[in-house]
């Protein structure tokens, strides 16, 4: 099996000149790549005591659900506002150009539960920071945050400096 980095297709100048887009779909569409990505992310949870896996739509679902399943833990979806059917807690956060809102079911995290957040990519860290605020607002504790890919040039890890963050692949630029 080849290294996980070789499954990621890098597309120069997308969505704009000077940006290298790291395409996670190239990992997903290769059975070995998908298997390796999930295994590598799950390995980063060795020795971590936690109760729940949470992940934002949609790629946090793709990687978080199989990890939760493998580790016999529940999975909590973090969704865009208006997508969950029961009572929710929500938060609005800043994007590069505007704002967004995400939410979780109000009963999805119990006080004292240790939560692992799983997602495909960390860029600026804004979405993950919002997820952390939701979890902590419900009395949960973030045990670790795992990403498949990290764009280190966007300094998202600095924004999450008070948390245990790990990434399978770290790209130095944007």
Residues marked active site are found at 59, 96
Nearest to 118 by CA among 70, 54, 45: 54
Is the peptide bond between 143 and the residue preceding it cis, with omega within 30 degrees of 0?
no
Q: First-to-last CA distance in the chain?
A: 27
115 and 140 in contact (C-beta within 8 Å)? yes
CA atoms lying within 13 Å on the CB side of residue 80: 5
3-state secondary structure of 54: strand
112: left (phi over 0), alpha (psi -120 to 50) or beta: left
**Cα separation of 160 and 131, whole Å?**
11
State phi, psi for 128 to the nearest 5 degrees: -65, -40
């Amino acid at each position: 099996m080849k290294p996980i980095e070789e499954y990621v297709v890098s597309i120069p100048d997308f969505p704009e000149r000077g940006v290298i887009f790291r395409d996670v779909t190239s990992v997903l569409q290769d059975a070995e790549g998908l298997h390796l990505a999930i295994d590598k992310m799950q390995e980063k949870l060795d020795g971590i005591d936690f109760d729940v896996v949470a992940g934002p739509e949609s790629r946090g679902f793709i990687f978080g659900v199989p990890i939760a399943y493998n580790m016999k833990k529940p999975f909590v979806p973090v969704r865009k506002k208006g997508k969950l059917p029961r009572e929710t807690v929500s938060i609005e956060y800043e994007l590069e150009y505007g704002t967004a809102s995400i939410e979780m079911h109000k009963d999805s995290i119990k006080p004292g539960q240790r939560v692992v957040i799983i997602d495909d990519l960390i860029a600026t860290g804004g979405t993950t920071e919002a997820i952390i605020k939701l979890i902590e607002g419900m009395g949960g504790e973030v045990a670790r945050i795992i990403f498949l890919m990290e764009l280190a040039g966007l300094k998202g890890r600095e924004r999450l400096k008070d948390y245990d963050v790990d990434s399978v692949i770290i790209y130095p630029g944007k």
